[in-house]
Structure 1
Amino acid sequence: MVKIKNSILISICLLFLLLLLGCSVPRQSEDNATGLPFGGNLKEVKVYFTKSKAPEELSLVPASRKISKNDSIVSATLKELFLGPTKSEELRGVMTEIPVGTRLIKVEEGEDEVLIDLSSQYLTGGGSAAMQLRYLQIYKTLKKICPLKNLYLNVEGKSLKTIGGEGLEVTQPLTKIHDYTKKHEKTKDVQP
């Protein structure tokens, strides 16, 4: 009988200790949703998403993201872009025109140029306006982090010449689509 009482008492004490230890584990905050360590090892970058300005009219909006300073800034920033808006951004109407499943295959960074190679998912779905916004999301995001470099875009290893069913021409190195961006750009950041 004494052995049973001692076993129960020891079990209760161990359970209590486990509960105490479990309570001391810090929770991950929404600010650190990427799983990156806190501290001075992070760099803030801007990625560009879309937001409805009026019915049938979307504009580009910047959103802040934190990436590790140890990673390639181009790769890490594009990966954040491809993750899409956060849940709180989505609740405020922020979207992306970049298709789910779009992957970054490769980044080659030279002294004065950057070549990115994307998966074929990048070219799926969307009309001409969606394709223009999709293109501009990548263009604006990359120009924000490497403004002086020429940008080149490949899909599955092939230089991109056109996108979309209507054949939006893509010049290499990439250039801004002036007529579209003047009307549809916002400069105010999306708040997390």
Structure 2
Amino acid sequence: MAFRTRTTSARPRTAPARPRRSRKAPLASALALALALSACAAGTGGGGAGAADRTPRTGSAAPQDPAATPAAPSASGTRSPGGTAPPPTAPAPGPTTPPAEGRQVRTGVYFLHGERVSPAPRSVTAPATVAGALRALLAGPNPRERGHGRTTAIPEGTRLRSLAVRDGVATVDLTGRYDDGGGTLSMRARLAQVVFTATRFPAVTSVRFALDGGPVTRFGGEGVDLARPVGRADFEDLTPAVLVESPMIGDTVRGPVRVWGTANTFEASFGLRITDADGHTAAHTPVMATSGNGVRGTFDLTVRLQGFREGPGTLTALWDDPEQERLVSEATVPLTLRR
């Protein structure tokens, strides 16, 4: 295991153990070493490592997203090796009362970073928060987000015709432009963008698609199966191993910073590091998600920032990849750091 520090007192749930490679120990050591080196860098850069409260607060709504907490994945929320469709995941506890009409609600819409979904912040007006988020998604990433590699697979000109939510299923009716062009990856990516954006709201656990008023059971020229409502677990291959739900790209953060999201990493462990524009480490911490090894779990922690220069910064997630036998640090979130 890469880290001994736990976010909960109970051992995380894991899927049945798969054969372990002989390089497990070196990989775990590599991740621990990377964090240790970042601690040294913080010390020489004028500040110590930021401490973190690793006690998860499962089910608590994010302060920035009072009406848009994503559904919490469960062990049943991962597609089985045989391809059997999983049941929809249960929504995380949300606000007991809906936001007042006309109130601005902060949420996230999901673009692509490489071939994986990545949230970006948007504000929508209550009570039509899910519809507002989908319209913001269809508008595409802004110039700053594009400058940081965020893209969209949704064809320009796609519009939302209608939206209905019943028993946790959102029926999203889009214009026919939505299925124009692209191969299987592009088709599945644009479906994932809509699904992740809609299911960020607790009232939605899965999505049923319609085009120009008609139900869709096969999507695109490759015939992606949409005979049933689909949820986040149907797009695990398009989800980063560590999906940071907050903070999001472009956010301005001040310590302590709440960092939360989902993860599916080797033995449920990974690391989080926040650096400033000079590369000085403002915070670093090992994290243990609620599950791993093929079962997506959640994480939620608070990190203190120390010894950094105000201005541009980056949050980076690092984890062991036993398949590639190397340390991976691909999940990055550009931020603005303030004291």
TM over 0.5: yes
Q: 2:107 pairs with 45, 50, 61, which one?
A: 45
Structure 2 residue aligned with 1:191, among 242, 250, 261?
250
* 8 Å contact from structure 2 (residues 170, 198) kept in 1: no
Pick one of 147, 159, 169 that aligns with 1:91. 147
- Residue 82 (structure 1) aligns with: 138
- The range that moved more, 152-161 or 96-105, is 152-161
Q: Please point out which of 140, 144, 162 is paired with 1:106.
A: 162
Aligned to 2:177: 121
Matched, 1:145 2:207: no
Q: CA deviation at 1:173?
A: 1.6
Name the CA distance, whole Å, in 2 between partners of 1:88 and 1:134: 21
CA shift, 1:159, in A, is 1.2
Tell me if the contact between 1:59 and 1:185 (Cα under 8 Å) persists in the aligned partners.
no
Give the CA deviation at 1:152.
1.7
* TM-score, normalization by structure 1: 0.68
Structure 1 residues 103 and 43 mapped into 2: Cα distance closer, same or farther (>3 Å)?
A: same
Indicate how the Cα distance of structure 1 residues 174 and 67 shifts in structure 2: closer, same or farther if over 3 A, else same: same
Asked whether the 8 Å contact 1:59–1:186 carries over to 2, the reply is no
Structure-2 residue corresponding to 1:9: none
Separation in 2 of the partners of 1:93 and 1:130? 16
Structure 1 residue 64 and structure 2 residue 121: aligned?
A: yes
What is the CA distance between 1:106 and its match in structure 2?
0.8
Write 1 or 2 for the structure with the bigger share of strand: 2
Distance of aligned partners of 1:112 and 1:83 in 2 relative to their CA distance in 1, 3 Å threshold: same
Say if 1:99 and 1:124, in contact at 8 Å, map to a contact too.
yes
Give the Å deviation of 1:190.
Answer: 2.0
Aligned-residue offset at 1:147: 5.1
2: distance between equivalents of 1:129 and 1:51? 14
Is the CA contact 1:153–1:172 (under 8 Å) kept in the aligned structure 2?
A: no
| 1:147-174 deviation per Cα after TM superposition (whole angstroms, max 9, x unaligned) | 5544321111111112222211114222
CA offsets, 1:162-192, max 9 Å, x none? 2222211114222332452355773252226
Partner of residue 160 from structure 1, selected from 206, 216, 220: 216
Paired AA for residue 78 in structure 1: L
Note the residue ranges of structure 1 that are not aligned, 5 or more in a row: 1-39, 53-57
Q: Give CA deviations for 1:117-166 in whole Å, capped at 9, x if unaligned.
A: 10000000111111111010001111111455443211111111122222
8 Å contact from structure 2 (residues 140, 152) kept in 1:
yes
Task: Please state which structure has a larger fraction of its residues in helix.
Answer: 1
1:141 corresponds to which letter in structure 2? T
Q: Distance in 2 between matches of 1:178 and 1:68?
A: 28
1:16 aligned partner: none
2:237 equivalent in structure 1: 180
**Would the alpha carbon gap of residues 177 and 99 (structure 1) be closer, same or farther in structure 2, given more than 3 Å must change?**
same
